[in-house]
Structure 1
Amino acid sequence: MGLKNHLFTFYYVVLLQGVISGIISGGVEFAIAYGMYQKSKNLVTLWAFPNTFSGDCALTLFIQVGVTWVTQELIVGWDCYRTNNEIIKLPDFLLAEKPRNWFAFLYFEVNRGLIYKDYEEKPTLKMYLRKNFAPYIKSRGNFVNFCAWIVNRAIRGLIFGVALFLIVWPVTMGIMAGIGHRIYGHDYYFNNYPTPQIAKLIYGFVIGLITSPVCSMVVILRNYFYIDNIENSSNFKGYIATVNLGEETLGGERDLEKHSSSSETPALLDDEPSVPVVA
Structure 2
Amino acid sequence: SSRFTGHQLFYIFGVHGIGALIVSGGINFAIAYAMYTTQDTATKPIRLWQLPNTLAGDAAVTMIIQCIITWFVELIILHFDLSQRSVQPIGFIPPPSNSLLRCFFFLPRDATAETKKQLRPWSFIEVIQQALRGFCFAVVGFLLLWPVFVGVLTAFGDKEGGDYYYRRKWVPEIFKLVLGGVLGLLTTPWMAMFWLVKAGWE
TM-score of the superposed pair, with normalisation by structure 1: 0.63
The 3 A distance-change label for structure 1 pair 113 and 168 is farther
Q: Distance in 1 between matches of 2:195 and 2:89?
A: 14
For the pair 1:214 / 2:184, whether they are aligned, the reply is: no
* Unaligned ranges ≥5, structure 1: 115-129, 135-141, 227-279
The 3 A distance-change label for structure 1 pair 146 and 71 is farther
* Counterpart in the other structure of 1:152: 129
SS at match of 1:178: coil
Q: Distance in 1 between matches of 2:81 and 2:132?
A: 23
8 Å contact 2:91–2:201 — kept in the other structure? no
Q: Distance in 1 between matches of 2:172 and 2:36?
A: 8
For the pair 1:65 / 2:67, whether they are aligned, the reply is: yes
For residues 195-224 of structure 1, the C-alpha deviation after alignment (integer angstroms, 9 at most, x for no partner) is 100110111111111221111111111111
8 Å contact 1:181–1:188 — kept in the other structure? yes
Could you say which structure has the greater relative contact order, defined with CA pairs below 8 angstroms and 6 or more residues apart? 2
TM-score of the superposed pair, with normalisation by structure 2: 0.86
Question: What is the number of residues matched between the two proteins?
Answer: 193
Which 4+ stretches in 1 moved above 6 angstroms?
Answer: none
Q: Distance in 1 between matches of 2:130 and 2:153?
A: 32
For residues 228-262 of structure 1, the C-alpha deviation after alignment (integer angstroms, 9 at most, x for no partner) is xxxxxxxxxxxxxxxxxxxxxxxxxxxxxxxxxxx
For the pair 1:169 / 2:162, whether they are aligned, the reply is: no
* Counterpart in the other structure of 2:112: none
The 3 A distance-change label for structure 1 pair 51 and 102 is same
Q: Percent same amino acid at aligned positions? A: 30
Q: Distance in 1 between matches of 2:21 and 2:187?
A: 9
Query: Displacement, 1:2?
Result: 10
Query: Displacement, 1:39?
Result: 2.2
Which runs of structure 2 are paired with 1:70-149 in the superposition (5 Å)? Answer: 70-83=72-85, 87-88=87-88, 90=90, 92=92, 95=93, 97-110=94-107, 114=117, 131=119, 134=120, 142=121, 145-149=122-126
8 Å contact 1:113–1:223 — kept in the other structure? no
8 Å contact 1:77–1:220 — kept in the other structure? no
* Counterpart in the other structure of 1:189: 165
Query: Displacement, 1:189?
Result: 1.3
Rg larger in 1 or in 2?
Answer: 1
Query: Displacement, 1:6?
Result: 4.1
8 Å contact 2:89–2:199 — kept in the other structure? no
* Unaligned ranges ≥5, structure 2: 109-114
Q: Distance in 1 between matches of 2:143 and 2:83?
A: 34
SS at match of 2:49: coil
Query: Displacement, 1:147?
Result: 3.1
SS at match of 2:165: strand
8 Å contact 2:32–2:176 — kept in the other structure? yes
Q: Distance in 2 between matches of 1:25 and 1:113?
A: 33
Q: CA RMSD of the aligned region, Å?
A: 2.3
Q: Distance in 1 between matches of 2:35 and 2:95?
A: 46
* Counterpart in the other structure of 1:203: 179
